[in-house]
Structure 1
Amino acid sequence: MAKDEILYTTTSKQLEKLKSQNLIIENEERAYKRLQSYGYFNIIKGYRNPYIFKNENQITYRDGVSFEQIYSLYLLDKNLRNAVFASMLDLEEHIKAVVADVIAESFGVHQEDYIQFRNFRDKKRKSSRFSLAKIINCMKNALDTSKDPVAHYRDFHGIIPPWVLFKNLYFSTIVNLVNLLKPEEQRKVACRLYEPNTSKGNIDNLRKIMMDTLFICLEYRNLAAHGGQVYNYVCSSRLRSNSFSGDSNLLDDYQGFSQLLFLLRILNYQNPFNTLNKVLNEQVNRHCHSFPQDITYLGQILNLNIISENIVWASSNGTIYHSFPHCSGLHDPIKLNLEEAKSKGYSPCKKML
């Protein structure tokens, strides 16, 4: 077989291959269904690396590693990715509202006033796609859309305020538009996003933090939207080392996913951080309770001090506990420690068996 040749294999053969590589399959029927539902590539190829030895072209799983362990890591990342996407959509809406308010305050609410080259800086960009000319052209094209609410405001009012136009712009366009704002408008945006002191130097530092944060968040948003791994992702966008007044160790403390959490935590608007932090804690606790041998690995990758706690969820008037707060259509679930749930007479959800 040629080195680059890839052959189709059935799910049954995939399981046999995994067993031949020393992977424990505790429940073949369940493993079979999961491979069929989500794919060998997504589960195994995506999440096996912490659990394997490689010797030339041969792969062998470490002793004691099971399919359920790899699937659990896959599930952790999948739920984290969904939370990242939800958080970034929430943040996007907030950023659009703040930027629209600043632009309207500085340049007016009529599109012919605020979409002017003179309102922005024509900075050199690596990609011509995000040059000032392209951004302005993108905004003008959006004015002619047939989609509401822009079409409604154009046809019935003749004025399309920035907060209406921005509804039809991509987050990437908004982030690059903020990057092209003049310093005074950037300071206004930063002062709405953070809690600055009164010094201009502090606000200018916040401008840098703001722009780095926006590009990092944009990268995570696009990663999550396209199904990429997020738990071990390291951004190509960087947080500038001189952004935080004299704290040279700060960037060493926050890398990868912990950096995203840190940047969200220092914003005034806390919903994106709260959403993401809640799901992270739930997923890490779930996985590490079942597979405590992964505590060190995940702690290093996520830069967390992990203390495993077995959390389950139940309805206030039910008798069943669940692994996830929305399992089986739960509404307003209560959070319980597993031992507490057992002591109160709750029984496990059949999906946990």
Structure 2
Amino acid sequence: MSGKEFKSHEELISLLISRGVDISTPEHKSFAKKALQHEGYYNLINGYNKLFIASTAPAERYKPGTTVEEIFYLYDFDRKLRNIFFKYILPVETNIKSIIAYVFSQQYGHDNYMLYNNFNTTRKGAEANITSVIADFQRQLASRASDPSIAHYLKTYGYVPLWVLNNILTLGQISKFYSIMKQQDRQNVSRVFHIQDNQLENILFYLSSVRNFCAHGNRLYCFRTKRPLADMPVHKSLNIPCGDGKEHDYGKRDLYAAMLALYYVLPAATYKKLVKEIYRLFSTLMPKLSVLHEDDILKEMGFPCDWRNQLLSLK
């Protein structure tokens, strides 16, 4: 099987020029070469050229005026966007871990989070899901047995309290733990956020996907998922339309849905800071663009044109 041939930076620049990218000055060429050296062709060009492509047949052609600089500006915008979302999801992760550990330990003791009967055994697929979570927790403990805090509790008490185990669990793992808890216990957690337990479960899984995109450096501005955010009261209060009569046009499988999810699990003042921080990021990007328009990027993000006013109007 033959793969793609290696191309030097000079050859890659020539390829971009042949496809309509403006690298007509020494300054453009110098920037392009440094960008390819630092970021890589695949990450930068293949990752962020979609909005700049005018035609794909018979070969990719870029929109007139496209420069490597502008592609880089979008790339850098997305990198900063990941940093913002990651920064605001981490406190949510810490908070939900703390609440779950408190509620569960209060009900069953701090060393009984691996007992099968302490979970909802009546739910569909319960046996497989419960045993999977317990096995995962056991693997986490085994793999981190040399961690000072883990080793201390194992040596001194023979077990590790859930609130200590939290330190080595991911948001995805604690989300799965929450999903197998008994309904009353789940409700005791979700009540803190003034939502139903099934809504909180869905929010945690959604934010876990976004967190993973941020942590692994995946493209975030065009985030899409097959598992949608549940219908929430905020969809109705924002009058988000349903074009097909079944699912809302946006705020379900996109990055805007993450904003709606965060609305329920962040303090109001913190949420407003998040909205304003993203708005400032947009404000620094827009003056740098000539080929792309703000609407192009907002559409990829699933954000409506008046997204800032909509989100700041939420109470």
TM-score (norm 2): 0.82
- Measured against aligned partners, the alpha-carbon deviations of 1:145-177 in whole angstroms (never above 9, x if no partner) come to 221322212323445321112222232221101
SS state of the match for residue 148, structure 2? coil
Greater relative contact order (Cα 8 A, min sep 6): structure 1 or 2? 2
Unmatched segments (≥5 aa) in structure 2: 241-247, 308-315
Relative to structure 1, is the Cα distance of residues 143 and 62 closer, same or farther in structure 2, using a 3 angstrom cutoff?
closer
Quick one: percent identity of the two aligned structures?
A: 23
**Structure 1 counterpart of 2:206, from 195, 202, 216:** 216
The offset of 1:283, in angstroms, is 2.5
SS state of the match for residue 4, structure 2? coil
Q: Aligned runs of 1:180-259 on 2, under 5 Å?
A: 180-192=180-192, 194=193, 196=194, 203=195, 206-241=196-231, 243-244=232-233, 247=236, 249-250=239-240, 251-255=248-252, 256-259=254-257
Larger radius of gyration: 1
Q: Aligned runs of 1:89-128 on 2, under 5 Å?
A: 89-109=90-110, 111=111, 113-122=112-121, 123-125=123-125
Unmatched segments (≥5 aa) in structure 1: 197-202, 308-353
Q: Aligned runs of 1:120-159 on 2, under 5 Å?
A: 120-122=119-121, 123-125=123-125, 131-144=129-142, 145-158=145-158
The offset of 1:272, in angstroms, is 7.2
The offset of 1:88, in angstroms, is 2.9
For the Cα contact (< 8 Å) 1:153–1:159, is it kept in 2?
Answer: yes
Alpha-carbon distance in 1 for matches of 2:126, 2:44: 36
The offset of 1:62, in angstroms, is 1.0
Relative to structure 1, is the Cα distance of residues 150 and 81 closer, same or farther in structure 2, using a 3 angstrom cutoff?
same
Alpha-carbon distance in 2 for matches of 1:54, 1:257: 26
Alpha-carbon distance in 2 for matches of 1:23, 1:69: 10
In structure 2, what is the equivalent of residue 265 of structure 1? 263
- Measured against aligned partners, the alpha-carbon deviations of 1:227-273 in whole angstroms (never above 9, x if no partner) come to 211101112221233x4399395443524111101110222446874
Alpha-carbon distance in 2 for matches of 1:127, 1:79: 42
Would you tell me which structure has more helix in proportion to its own residues?
A: 2
Alpha-carbon distance in 1 for matches of 2:268, 2:137: 29
SS state of the match for residue 6, structure 2? coil
TM-score (norm 1): 0.74
In structure 2, what is the equivalent of residue 18 of structure 1? 16
Alpha-carbon distance in 1 for matches of 2:297, 2:15: 27
Letter in 1 for 2:94: E
Alpha-carbon distance in 2 for matches of 1:142, 1:17: 47
Alpha-carbon distance in 2 for matches of 1:223, 1:156: 38
Alpha-carbon distance in 1 for matches of 2:296, 2:102: 44
